[in-house]
Every structure is written in C-alpha cells, then in structure tokens.
C-alpha cells in the first residue's frame, strides 16, 4: 500500500453518528510486489522484522472486532496485500454478515493492490464488502501501481466487482509526489469514466527522523491542491484530498479539525473535498500483522517495536474500544 493505507470510503453510506472509531486490521505481511515497489511502499519502510500472526489468531481478533459492534465506523481490511490471503478476507466477511446490522461495525472495506481481485468477485458477491479501494499512482511515486497496463485492468475489475454486488462503493487512492496537476490529471478522465465513487489523493510520505512525513512542504502542496480542485470540479467522481490538520485549516480558510468527529470534511467545490482525520487519541487503532496495537501516531513510525496499546491478547479489543471511548469523552469535555 502507498500512503493512504489507513483510508476509508463512505460516500452515500449510512453509518450511525456514534460510530467514531476507524479500525485497521493487517491480515498479513506479504505482497508479491515487495521488491518492485521497494522504498516507495510505506509498509516496506515502517514494518519491523517480526513474525506475523497465525490465521487462527487473525480470525480470533477479527471476531472480537466484529463483537465490538457499532462504535467502530469502518473496519479496514489491509495487509500488506490482503488478497495474498483471501481466506482471511472472506472469513472476516462471512462472520460480519452473520451479525445483525445494529450490532456490528458500520462498514467493512478492503484496501488492495487489486491483484487477483477478479478471481474473487463471485465470493464477494455472496459476502459483500461495503467498499473496495485500489491504488493507482503517478509515475514519480515509484510504486508498481503506476504501470499503464495495470490502470485499465484495475478499473475494469473494480467496476465488475461493483456490478456483481461484491462492493457497494469503489475507490481509487493516489499519491501526490511533486506536481499534483501534471502527475494526476492524466488519470482523472479514466477514473471518472469508470464510474469510481471516490478518488482519494494524499501526499507522498518519506522517512524523516524515524517517522514518515509529507515530502512536499505545506507551502508547495496547498497551492497545488487549490488549482487541482478547480480542474477536477467537473468530474462525477468525488475527489478527496486527505491532508493533515494544518493543511486542512489553511485550505478551508481557518476551519479547524472538529474535536468530536473521527474525520472533518470541507467541500472546496460540489465534488471536491478536503478531509482530515482527527489527530486525537480515541478515533483510531491499527492491529499490525505482528499483533501490536497501534495508535495513529505509531502507524507512521519506522521500526516501532511496541504499539501504544501494547500487544493483542484474548479479550483485548473490547477493553481497547472502551478505553478509546473514554478518551473521546475526555477530549470533548476538555
């Protein structure tokens, strides 16, 4: 995955307002393109050398996440590449669909490079995703997903998935390296023509003092995004610029990130919006492939050994979700 490996898609999804936690579940630590993408892959940069959880452990934690219920807004099935272990993806979905709507997370989505997605469309139609996102990136990003031949194949597979009922919504994630307009405008027409529901753009992250930071400074990125927003304003696809709170405040004309929401949104045009996820504790956790429970800050640190919330153990997800609820209440009360 590239930089927006924690992202989510909810255009037109009806999710209760009390659902405020974004949960990322790394199902594995394998991807056949590891050497193709090299240091351009954020997960290659930050993952520690550690053994991965077994399939049984992943299934157990998946059940606990579903048990945590509708406080969780999105469960993001990530990997490295989740479709390297399709049984884990489909096993989670099977368990998810056995629960009543009001006692399970609001949505479950898949972040994938798209590899082998076409082979699982029938299975997804039986146990649908709320959404599915794949990556298409500009050449300068250095990622495998820049290959032109893959672009059309990815879009076709995504639209086939949606048409078959395997996902309610489909999305594309792209990174901005140097020049957003030159790099990304060539993709816009293809993405729009394919009927993609959301195109999420976010800045390329590079290592800086042990953590991943945006390559472009705000002073260069902000004017680019402003220009790009106007050029993309005639698309049917919703375009989301996923930015940090400082960029959000600058481009929204001084509106800060809301203290009581998992994510803030500001519409620049009728189809182009800024989004910034809350930096506060209480809105996010990520279960890493090795069983460590990470906060949002942890996620971008290189070679982090132990997450803020410690290692997963049986029953841990419920206590963590309760703790996140307390942190949100303290934040709102402050």
Q: Which residues bind ligand SF4 (CB under 6 A)?
A: 1-2, 31, 33-34, 37, 41, 43, 80-81, 113, 143-144
Is 144 or 296 the residue whose CB approaches ligand SF4 more closely? 144
**CB 251 to ligand SF4: min, Å:** 27
Longest dimension (CA), the chain: 52
- The interaxial angle of helices 86-97 and 55-67, nearest 10 deg, is 30
How many angstroms separate the CA atoms of 302 and 300, rounded? Answer: 7
CB of 205 to ligand SF4, least distance (A): 12
- Give the single-character DSSP code of 4: T
Least distance CB 79 / ligand SF4 (angstroms):
6
Using the Cα atoms of residue 37, residue 235, residue 265 and residue 158 in order, give the sign of their dihedral: negative
34/261 with CB nearer ligand SF4: 34
Closer residue to ligand SF4, CB minimum distance, 1 or 204? 1
> To which residue do tokens 């993609």 refer?
196
Tell me the closest approach of the beta carbon of residue 40 to ligand SF4, in angstroms: 7
Per DSSP, what are the bridge partners of residue 108? 75
> Least distance from C-beta 173 to ligand SF4, angstroms?
10
CB of 31 to ligand SF4, least distance (A): 3
Q: Is 308 helix (H, G, I), strand (E, B) or coil?
A: coil
Nearer to ligand SF4, 184 or 317 (CB): 184
- Measured from the CB atom, is 27 or 68 closer to ligand SF4? 27
Q: Which is nearer to ligand SF4, 10 or 26 (CB)?
A: 26
Place of tokens 């009806």: 14
Measure the CA–CA gap between 106 and 61, rounded to whole angstroms: 17
Give the containing element (helix H, strand E) for 24.
strand 21-26
H/E element, 239:
strand 238-242
């Amino acid at each position: 995955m590239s930089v927006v490996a924690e992202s989510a898609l909810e255009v037109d999804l009806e999710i209760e307002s009390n659902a405020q936690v974004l949960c990322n579940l790394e199902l594995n630590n394998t991807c056949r393109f590891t050497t193709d993408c090299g240091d351009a892959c954020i997960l290659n940069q930050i993952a520690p050398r550690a053994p991965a959880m077994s399939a049984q452990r992943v299934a157990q934690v998946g059940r606990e996440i579903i048990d945590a219920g509708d406080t969780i807004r999105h469960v993001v099935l990530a990997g490295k590449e989740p479709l390297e272990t399709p049984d884990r993806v489909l096993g989670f979905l099977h368990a998810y669909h056995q629960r009543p709507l009001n006692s399970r997370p609001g949505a479950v989505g898949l972040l994938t490079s798209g590899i082998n997605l076409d082979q699982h469309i029938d299975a997804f139609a039986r146990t649908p995703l709320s959404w599915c996102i794949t990556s298409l990136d500009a050449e300068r990003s250095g990622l495998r997903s820049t290959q032109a031949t893959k672009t059309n194949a990815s879009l076709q597979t995504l639209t086939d998935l949606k048409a078959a009922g395997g996902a309610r919504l489909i999305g594309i994630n792209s990174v901005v390296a140097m020049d957003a307009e030159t790099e990304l405008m060539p993709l816009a027409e293809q993405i729009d023509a394919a009927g993609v529901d959301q195109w999420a753009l976010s800045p390329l992250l590079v290592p800086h003092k042990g953590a991943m930071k945006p390559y472009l400074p705000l002073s260069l990125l902000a004017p680019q995004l402003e220009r790009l927003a106007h050029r993309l304003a005639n698309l049917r696809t919703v375009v989301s610029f996923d930015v940090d709170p400082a960029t959000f405040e600058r481009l929204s004309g001084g509106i800060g990130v809301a203290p009581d929401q998992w994510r803030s949104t500001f519409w620049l045009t009728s189809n182009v919006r800024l989004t910034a996820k809350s930096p506060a504790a209480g809105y996010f956790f990520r279960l890493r492939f090795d069983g460590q429970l990470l906060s949002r800050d942890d996620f971008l640190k290189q070679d982090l050994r132990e997450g803020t919330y410690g290692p997963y153990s049986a029953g841990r997800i419920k206590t963590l979700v309760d703790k996140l609820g307390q942190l949100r209440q303290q934040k709102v009360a402050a």
